[in-house]
Amino acid sequence: MRKIKIWDLATRLFHWSLVVAFVLAAYSAFEDKFGMYADMHLYSGIAVLILISWRIIWGLIGSDTARFSHFVKSPAAAIRAFGSLVRREPYSEVGHNPLGGYAVILMLVLLLIQPVLGLFSSDDMFFEGPLVSAVDGSLSNRATEIHELLGLFLIGFTIFHVVMIMVYALLKRVDLVRPMITGRAYKPDTEDQPVVRSQILAFILLLVVGSGVCLSVF
Residue 169 and residue 157 in contact, taking contact as beta carbons nearer than 8 Å: no
Coil, strand or helix: which one is 81? helix
The whole-number pLDDT of residue 1 equals: 75
CA distances from 67 to 58, 70, 85, 169, 195 (A): 7, 5, 23, 24, 11
The whole-number pLDDT of residue 189 equals: 78
Q: Alpha-carbon distance 28 to 13, whole Å?
A: 22
DSSP state, 2?
A: E
Coil, strand or helix: which one is 100? helix
CA-nearest of 106, 96, 118, 101 to 157 is: 106
The whole-number pLDDT of residue 91 equals: 65
The whole-number pLDDT of residue 82 equals: 81
Residue 189 and residue 178 in contact, taking contact as beta carbons nearer than 8 Å: no
Per-residue pLDDT of the chain (218 residues; tens, 9 = 90+): 788 899 999 999 999 999 999 999 999 999 887 889 999 999 999 999 999 999 999 999 999 999 999 999 998 988 888 888 777 776 667 888 888 899 999 999 999 999 999 999 988 777 889 999 888 888 999 999 999 999 999 999 999 999 989 988 888 788 999 999 999 988 877 778 899 999 999 999 999 999 999 999 98
Residue 33 and residue 126 in contact, taking contact as beta carbons nearer than 8 Å: yes
Q: Which domains does the chain have, with CATH numbers?
A: 2-217 (1.20.950.20)
The whole-number pLDDT of residue 87 equals: 77
List alpha helices for 62-171, DSSP H.
68-71, 75-86, 98-119, 137-171
Residue 115 and residue 45 in contact, taking contact as beta carbons nearer than 8 Å: yes
The whole-number pLDDT of residue 80 equals: 86
The whole-number pLDDT of residue 5 equals: 92
Other beta carbons within 10 Å of 125: 9
Question: What pTM, to 2 d.p., does this model score?
Answer: 0.92
